[in-house]
Chain A
Amino acid sequence: MVTGDVKLIGSWASVFVMRARIALNLKSISYEFLQETFGSKSELLLKSNPVHKKMPVLIHADKPVCESNIIVQYIDEAWSSYGTSILPSLPYDRAIARFWAAYIDDKWFIALRSILTAQGEEEKKEAIAEVEERTEHLEKAFIECSNGKPFFNGDHIGFLDIALGSFLGWWRVVELDANHKLLDETKTPSLFKWAERFCNDPAVKPLMPDTANLAEFARKLFPKPQP
């Protein structure tokens, strides 16, 4: 097992970095975590991801892999005999998992973030309504994908669990900011229970950031206009 060979460029606060770290944990891969400094981009990051200049970047045997969902799939394939399978085994189930992962990034996350960037109460209310509607789609997706099991991927955490679950820290921060429940036990009961199971998984627990620390970081990233 060439474990000395794996580096990950990232930040403790990044959802996308967390995805890669959870995947590495699921496969029990040791790696060197290269924490980026907030507000600047390291030489190594710029060199390893010249196209997007973003984290996470997984560097395996000096070869960089970029984009969180692509990294997670890479980890599953490069270390396919280690730990549990991250992607489902059937092509149709894999297509469904990829569909919802794309929905989470392209639609759901954009709506969540727009709560933080909303100008005024009206815009905030609209953003909240959008998140609620999209979260209900994810509740239905969970029921279909999990098929009665604890996770989207079945008995164990998988690709789609990681794609959505990595947001849980920020989900809580945005809830506090909006002063409104965004993961509601009565509206989306399956997701609510899934969230607790996900956070308690040994591959996830050490990585989930403290809500207070993240909220403070959020204030730096999304400064509120002064009254």
Chain B
Amino acid sequence: MADEVSLLDYWPSMFGMRTKMALAEKGVAYEYVETDPWVKTPLLIEMNPIHKKIPVLIHKGKPICESLIQLEYIDEVWSGTYPMLPSDPYQKAQARFWADFIDKKFYDPSWKVWGTKGEDQVAAKKELLEHFKTLETELGDKTYYGGEVFGFVDIALMGYYSWFKAMEKFGEFSIETEFPKLNEWTKRCLKRESVVKAIADSDKIIEYAYALRKKFGAE
């Protein structure tokens, strides 16, 4: 029932996009509540008092925060269909490791490459390319990071897809040229309805990135 599940999210958020993909893959109906995280509404503060950030998944009135935690929750609650995580403990640990790598290592330079200037930006670009290379190597010749199945790690990384063009523009590199396997993988993912419906327009993201650059003083 749609009234059981809501998602507080903001249209450009790579984290919100992950949760939208996961809910769509599981066929879960939900109410989408556009929430600007720069404006701390009473609902946002009530549902995420610690971080006051989006996305927040609300199920039967109870909030779940942090996108990767939301993905695991969605996988466990709606376990009857389309498993996102493998059942084998070792494979599961590997999936968690790579999702954690994406947030722990990839995230920081992925925004600094468009959100900073000068030396900071140069350093961010170098680091970002290293992490893209690691992700390209890890994908290898697999169809998806999950093997034959579009899964947890694929969703974790595809959440960033809308921002790839902004990263390429400000970082002055091309994913197609430098990371061809990853590039092909994005095309496979983009065939999925859950992905297409979740992502934002890459050019609108670039506009948004410009606005944030001004806000951060990088412009």
Chain A residues packing against B (C-beta within 8 Å): 51, 60, 63, 65-67, 70-71, 73-74, 77-78, 91-92, 94-95, 98-99, 102-103, 137
Contact = CB atoms under 8 A, between A and B. Distances in A.
B77 A91 contact: yes
B93 A70 contact: yes
Interface of B: 50, 59, 62, 64-66, 69-70, 72-73, 76-77, 89-90, 92-93, 96-97, 100-101, 134
B93 A51 contact: no
B14 to A, nearest CB: 17
Nearest to B100: A67
B97 A70 contact: yes
A102 B92 contact: no
A227 to B, nearest CB: 32
A65 B90 contact: yes
A137 B50 CA distance: 8
A73 B64 contact: no
B90 A102 contact: no
Task: Decide if the interface of chain B is mainly helix, strand, loop or mixed.
Answer: helix
Given A92-B62, A94-B72, A95-B73, A60 B90 contact: yes
Contacts of A70: 93, 96-97, 100
A223 B76 CA distance: 46
A78 B92 CA distance: 10
Given A92-B64, A103-B50, A137-B50, A63 B90 contact: yes
Contacts of A67: 96-97, 100
A74 B97 CA distance: 11
Most buried by B among A65, A71, A91: A91
